[in-house]
A and B are shown apart, each in its own frame.
Chain A
């Protein structure tokens, strides 16, 4: 407990000591020049003028969080969880972002230095972005290099977006943008009046940063319990036929956005298991889908569908590989009263032939097969509801938000409350939580109950 108290105290002192000089600095900011500006196009403060073609942006951030799974119910707010861990996050991140134009080509790089007290690597250099945008012709552009990629209409729910995610970042309270992990990809876009086409090739398979026991525990079907035993899944071999290929055909007509999607690659999380190697694997996956999004009433409505074609188990009888499934997402977002926005989503996953998996297990002489219940297999229909509530106060400086996942099918949830205070153009303070729970310890969110945590985050933009 003393150790945790020390961390919190340390953070508080650090935040205040860093904040102090800026309070003084504010009185000498460049904005005094506002009232002096006169004449045509003259008199703008120097710091708004682009004096160099290089744009340099730097921030530093401290994130600290502690597990509460035990403590929440036993009176101590912060307490070791079942894995005897106390810190869910303790890190200092420095990001330097530089970009500039070369003619009409755009170069962008974001490099980070991360001192991470929780990760096995305590000091990491991360290349978040390193890409070049270039127009090959009037209607054909390319973005090549390390980049963040996103498409689709879901909010924290991804049907057709099979680009890399970072679930560890999501669970530990990093900024929402870190939910998307970068990949080294080539993205070609062909713009046409009829419809435009994105083609993204990721030569080296880039998996999600999945929950692997390093920072957060998970349910292990092998042991039948929640564990923090670390594992590293077996990645597909590095060969050209294992590259990922994704496309999107998209068109906006009268304010309504239509898109078709395709993906050829692998599950982004280690959903398969190789019993010979004894390791988790990334089974082959093809995906097809479509989405529509537009204004409806006073809000925005979206519908998205996808068919995940599990290529390593087309028959659907391999219990070690997920079966193919249909997915549907219906969403609606509206500002209910001034500054209060509610977004709702219903996400349905229909797994093909879950009974075949069960049968095939029961046919084998696997030692545990007779103990398996229906709960150990995927539901045919799995429903998930999400709600996002956002409330802006104090002239939009203080944001209250709650994102919640709840599945009536498995009776489990993930709540993500947070309060962010954007003090000014430099300082951001945030406190929040990642709260998991459920009836069973093997369901999507229920397995993470021990990972429930509270965190605080302070960022300074230079």
Chain B
């Protein structure tokens, strides 16, 4: 399980902000859209807490399930962040815990705690466009692509949404040729991202299927990742979201890996 679940750490950590589609800066209007979208999706509040669960449905229709609590703390708006994820389900990962120090622009520091071994494991920075625990979410979908990795253009807009097209500056480690993202003009939240291959064929879609306000902050509380090639999909839901709890930085240390901080998780 450890091998499987270390990838959860690579991935789910970033979900408090639901930074599904992080967009780099290009032309001025586009750059403002991207910047605000990034902040709205990834950095709401100074910190945050959410209960989350995930449903993973494979191409045969078989279901798996994950349940966890997330804590996030911004060190700098748009910059470094800290994440702690504590799993409660399924049984074989109960109290498995992840800690991430996210550093946009260079490698994150990641740790995984395996309670069966009392082992704090360091996780290597791996391929970011790879599924985790068999879900259809990619690490990079959630933690955010390098802000400078793609170039952007405005494809269209209407009263409620902008549609941007993103083209990777380099094809290294990228399976898509381009993608387009639909951003809500009121909330700046990314609502749909669709990924196309070299033949301009749509093969993958991410959708924010539910938005709720917590403390006045619009929050994606349900999102879906679909693999259109084989019909598999995954859904993540959030609840009991809280912002600005005043999480101290020492919550994000080895102490919390070994002994999850009950007072902040409840």
Q: Which B residues are in CB contact (< 8 Å) with A143?
A: 259
Interface residues on A, range: 35 or more
A432 to chain B, nearest CB (A): 14
A255 near B63 with CB under 8 A, answer no
A315-329: contact bitstring with B at CB < 8 Å (1 yes, 0 no)?
A: 000000000000000
Q: Which of A29, A149, A193, A250 contacts B254 (CB 8 A)?
A: A250
**Contacts A141-B259, A255-B109 hold; do A31 and B133 have CB atoms under 8 A apart?**
no
Q: Which B residues are in CB contact (< 8 Å) with A151?
A: 120
Q: Which A residues are in CB contact (< 8 Å) with B62?
A: 26, 424
A420-433: contact bitstring with B at CB < 8 Å (1 yes, 0 no)?
A: 00101110100000
Q: Which A residues are in CB contact (< 8 Å) with B91?
A: 57-59, 425, 461-462
Is A361 part of the binding interface, using a Cβ–Cβ cutoff of 8 Å? no
A154 to chain B, nearest CB (A): 11
B129 to chain A, nearest CB (A): 8
Is B197 part of the binding interface, using a Cβ–Cβ cutoff of 8 Å? no
B101 near A255 with CB under 8 A, answer yes
Complex Cα distance, B240 from A44, in Å, reads 12
**Contacts A48-B67, A255-B101, A422-B4 hold; do A57 and B94 have CB atoms under 8 A apart?**
yes
Residues 106-128 of B at the A interface (beta carbon under 8 Å): 107, 109, 114, 116-120, 122-127
Main SS at interface, chain B? mixed
**Contacts A104-B262, A298-B124, A339-B130 hold; do A48 and B119 have CB atoms under 8 A apart?**
no
Complex Cα distance, B239 from A180, in Å, reads 37
B175-215: contact bitstring with A at CB < 8 Å (1 yes, 0 no)?
A: 00000000000000000000000000000000000001000
B124 near A428 with CB under 8 A, answer no
**Contacts A339-B130, A341-B124 hold; do A31 and B117 have CB atoms under 8 A apart?**
no
Q: Which B residues are in CB contact (< 8 Å) with A395?
A: 58, 131, 133-135, 232
**A37 to B, closest residue via Cβ:** B237
**A254 to B, closest residue via Cβ:** B109
A392 near B124 with CB under 8 A, answer no
B130 near A34 with CB under 8 A, answer no
B117 near A396 with CB under 8 A, answer no
B58 near A150 with CB under 8 A, answer no
**A388 to B, closest residue via Cβ:** B3
Q: Which of A40, A106, A428 contacts B92 (CB 8 A)?
A: A428
Q: Which B residues are in CB contact (< 8 Å) with A29?
A: 63
16 contacts between A and B (CB under 8 A): A31-B55, A34-B55, A104-B262, A106-B262, A147-B118, A150-B118, A151-B120, A193-B250, A257-B122, A337-B127, A338-B126, A338-B130, A341-B126, A396-B133, A425-B89, A425-B90
Please give the residue numbers on chain A whose beta carbons come within 8 Å of chain B beta carbons, in ascending order: 26, 29, 31, 34, 37, 40-41, 44, 48, 50, 55, 57-59, 97, 99, 101, 104, 106, 133, 141, 143, 147-151, 153, 175-177, 179-180, 189, 191, 193, 196, 250, 252, 255, 257, 293-295, 298-300, 302, 333-335, 337-339, 341, 390, 392, 394-397, 399, 401, 422, 424-426, 428, 461-462
